């Protein structure tokens, strides 16, 4: 079985997003997966788009075996960071638990741009690749445990 993956990317910081996407696509290609990629405005929009994709697949649209969420939230001077970081993670976890979705969370939550680049770059921490590998591992585990979507 060749897993079909949807990457949902929030390119609020385009240079960081490109690094994350590079790592994710490389990992998916190495894993033998097919994939599509869509962009959304920000990290809070990633979970709804994943939900839309699932609903579309249920109604005859393209169906996906898993999802990779990519984005970056950098701490600022307001409490907005905590809201976006917490709510985006909660929404992805809720989708995974309530709908049995395989989602690799590659939304970085960092203090500054240097941390983001270090985590996103494939030659350093490769968090985009990690998110893709987590998605593929969840798909394999779901299959091994005999869970049907």
pLDDT band at 43 (very low <50, low <70, confident <90, very high): very high
Is-catalytic flag, 80? yes
d(CA 32, CA 64): 15
- pLDDT score recorded for residue 95: 97
Sign of torsion over alpha carbons 14, 16, 22, 23: negative
- pLDDT score recorded for residue 149: 66
Structure tokens at 24: 């994710």
DSSP string, 67-99: EEEEEEEE--SSTHHHHHHHHHHHHHHHHHHHH
- pLDDT score recorded for residue 59: 87
Structure tokens at 75: 């701490």
Q: Model's pTM, two decimal places?
A: 0.96
CATH H superfamily, domain 4-144 = Lumazine/riboflavin synthase (3.40.50.960)
pLDDT band at 48 (very low <50, low <70, confident <90, very high): very high
pLDDT tens digits, one per residue of 116-146: 999 999 999 999 999 999 999 999 999 999 9
pLDDT tens digits, one per residue of 61-111: 899 999 999 999 999 878 888 999 999 999 999 999 999 999 999 999 999
CA atoms within 13 A on the CB side of 132: 31
Q: Delimit the domains of the chain by residue range.
A: 4-144
With CA atoms as reference, report the closest residue to 20 among 12, 52, 32: 12
Q: For residue 20, is pLDDT > 80? A: yes
Q: Which of 59, 79, 80, 143 is catalytic?
A: 80
- pLDDT score recorded for residue 1: 75
């Amino acid at each position: 079985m060749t897993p079909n993956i949807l990457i949902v990317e929030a390119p609020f910081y385009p240079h960081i997003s490109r690094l994350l996407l590079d790592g994710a696509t490389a990992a998916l290609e190495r894993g033998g997966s097919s994939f599509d990629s869509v962009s959304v405005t920000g990290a809070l929009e990633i979970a709804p788009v994943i939900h839309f994709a699932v609903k579309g697949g249920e109604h005859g649209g393209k169906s996906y075996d898993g999802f990779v969420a990519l984005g970056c939230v950098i701490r600022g001077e307001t409490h907005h960071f905590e809201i976006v970081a917490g709510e985006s993670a909660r929404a992805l976890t809720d989708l995974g638990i309530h709908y049995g979705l395989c989602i690799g969370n590659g939304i970085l939550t960092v203090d500054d741009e240097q941390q983001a680049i270090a985590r996103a770059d494939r030659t350093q921490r490769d968090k985009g690749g990690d998110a893709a590998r987590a998605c593929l591992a969840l798909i394999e585990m779901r299959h091994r445990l005999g869970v049907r979507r």
